[in-house]
Amino acid sequence: MDISVTDKLLGVFGGTFDPLHIGHLRTVLDVQQALALQQIRMLPNYIPAHRQKPVLEAQQRYFLLQKALKETPGLVADDREIRRQGISYMVDTLADLKQQFPQKHLCLIVGGDAYRDFCKWHQWQDILQLAHLLVMKRAGLANQQNKELQQRVTTDKNRLLSVAAGNIVFLDVCQLEISSTRIREMIRQKQSVQFLVPEIIRSDLQTLYEG
């Protein structure tokens, strides 16, 4: 893959980030480095489409994300799903991004668990008209490939540049068995979450989740 032309690709990483943790950040950095992506936009959802209501408000989750990404220029906190309100469907987010960045090939980054359920996502076929899919292998999850999606899987990363959307690439990332659920649970049990979350937001988390 020709590194000099990869500013063509724009990484998109949506999540609840309730809260953001090192598992999100380290893996997304691995993706960024593997494809020499100039930028990955991280988008906290407003109302998640596929899970229960988050503990923190969207603005609080966005505040933490923004604070944690301050020193990391390639990773950008993007609040468009919060500004849009309503249920945060990724298809709408990608359509909006495509309008703002018409020349870019959007690359939607998902964890292995999210990929396993991808065919349950709202208008998932339309998502693949708007973006490529980058799947991060996640610890503890079998790398099951959905049969309907299998034909789109490629190991040729140049396909991400040659066509605008619709290919699926699996990426090896640092396997960190950390989840937001576990972080919330640890805070509830008054255990330290040091080294599991960005240090700069650690005390905010104690306050926000304990309060």
Phi, psi of 16 (to 5 degrees): -85, -35
Among 18, 58, 130, 208, binds ligand ATP (CB under 6 A): 18
Helix spans in the chain (H) = 22-35, 58-68, 80-84, 90-100, 112-116, 124-130, 147-150, 159-162, 180-188, 199-210
Binding pattern for the stretch 113-152 against ligand ATP, x by CB under 6 A and - elsewhere: xx---------------------x-x--------------
Size of the site for ligand ATP (CB under 6 A): 18
Q: Are strands 131-136 and 87-88 parallel, antiparallel or unpaired?
A: unpaired
**Binding residue for ligand ATP, selected from 11, 46, 111, 133, defined by CB under 6 A:** 111
Q: How many whole angstroms separate alpha carbon 30 and alpha carbon 9?
A: 15
Q: Is 180 in the site for ligand ATP (CB under 6 A)?
A: yes
SS3 188: helix
Other beta carbons within 10 Å of 156: 10
Pick the binder of ligand ATP from 10, 11, 15, 25 (CB under 6 A): 15
- If binding is defined by CB under 6 A, does position 198 make contact with ligand ATP? no
Task: Figure out which of the listed residues 42, 69, 106, 110 binds ligand ATP, where binding follows CB under 6 A.
Answer: 110
* Residue 16 vs 167, nearer CB to ligand ATP: 16
To ligand ATP, the closest distance from the beta carbon of 162 in angstroms equals 26
* Beta bridge partners of residue 78, listed in sequence order: none
> Considering beta carbons, is residue 113 or 156 the nearer one to ligand ATP?
113
For residue 140, CA distances in Å to 13, 52, 156, 211 come to 21, 22, 26, 32
Q: Given the complex with ligand ATP, which of 52 and 103 has the nearer CB atom?
A: 52
Of the listed pieces 74-82, 125-133, 178-186, 188-196, which binds ligand ATP according to CB under 6 A?
178-186
Radius of gyration of the chain (CA): 17
Query: What's the closest the beta carbon of residue 4 comes to ligand ATP, in angstroms?
Result: 28
Spatial strand order of the sheet with 40-44 comes to 75-77, 40-44, 9-15, 105-111, 131-136, 168-171
Residues 6 or more apart whose CB falls under 8 angstroms from that of 53 comprise: 47
The yes or no reply on residue 19 touching ligand ATP (CB under 6 A) is no
Contacting positions for ligand ATP (CB under 6 A): 15-18, 23-24, 27, 110-111, 113-114, 136, 138, 176, 178-181
